[in-house]
Copies of this chain bind each other. A is one copy, B any other.
């Protein structure tokens, strides 16, 4: 046991993230009551030391009061879970939504629970499959007292101050940000910051991917390009006669460069495993936060061309611009008699 102040947490949702949070908490001396629709997931964690629950009601019953219940669920099932919990909880209990809910839903849910004197805390959780070892970056919203009460749990889940060099210019001696978690503001503020975090992630990922793609295609002058009235010739093929190993480029950028980042670490790893990225077709999913970030930028009148371009690049990668393309080809056909070229 390493934490000075062991606490008890109920975890609802034992997918990869939820299960690993439980493991990280127990490893540090906290105790957990766990529930999931999938009984195997519950049994697995029971084996690792957690207390199993067979329903939300069972979970509520097995937790000491005031309760701390963490939801780690797909966004689509959070609301019904909160609805059900409303009936089971008591004043001063805390419900934490650690998933990727839209921050506007947090505002509504905190209002829904307020009459019951149940606290609602929204917690954006970054770290992915690596969080068990590295810790998770936590962006938290809700009432100050509730967040304060959760401090020992949040501190355990977060990476801790030792996970990065201190910021040289930092003179503030208070605040938990250097420990890897931050109370960002009232309800929704945590998921708002996490939402934008993911928008930034989209932009950074796209910058890296575009750059490596430009390097990959530095051999354009070595390859034939069809030249006809429909295709611009490459004017100076000699300037594009490089065959550069992008996997090695990603690897070298990991050390000492300005673009050094966890994302570059990850792309270096992916390229080391498969230089041709076999098994990927290039159809890039998006899961909500990038879109919501764009909506926020537009509402706030803040120009966000880079983050938005990254979002649309993902849409386009999935063929969602097809009708736009057909219209463009049709216009070209109309004014220039251009036939569309075969793929």
Contact = CB atoms under 8 A, between A and B. Distances in A.
A116 interface: no
A336 B128 contact: yes
A213 to B, nearest CB: 4
Interface string A174-195: 0111111110111011001100
How many A residues touch the partner, as a band? 35 or more
Contacts of A311: 298
A256 B158 contact: yes
A251 interface: yes
Contacts of A261: 204, 259-264
A1 interface: no
The count of identical subunits is 4
B299 A240 contact: yes
Given A184-B245, A206-B305, 14 more contacts: A102-B235, A158-B256, A172-B272, A180-B252, A182-B249, A200-B210, A213-B327, A277-B323, A277-B327, A281-B343, A285-B338, A301-B315, A306-B309, A317-B325
Given A258-B126, A258-B128, A340-B285, A321 B329 contact: no
A13 B232 CA distance: 19
Interface stretch (A4-12, A56-64, A86-94, A287-295): A287-295
A300 interface: yes
Interface in A203-227: 203-218, 220, 227
Contacts of A115: none
Contacts of A180: 252, 255-256
B300 A201 contact: no
A233 interface: yes
A132 to B, nearest CB: 11
Contacts of A341: 283, 285
Interface in A134-158: 134-139, 158
Contact of A129 (B104, B193, B335): B335
Nearest to A305: B309
A239 interface: yes
Given A128-B336, A204-B207, A343-B283, A324 B316 contact: no
Contacts of A164: 254-255, 260, 265
B159 A256 contact: yes
A32 to B, nearest CB: 20
A196 B168 contact: no
B302 A197 contact: no
A137 B307 CA distance: 27
A43 interface: no
A297 B214 contact: yes
A106 to B, nearest CB: 10
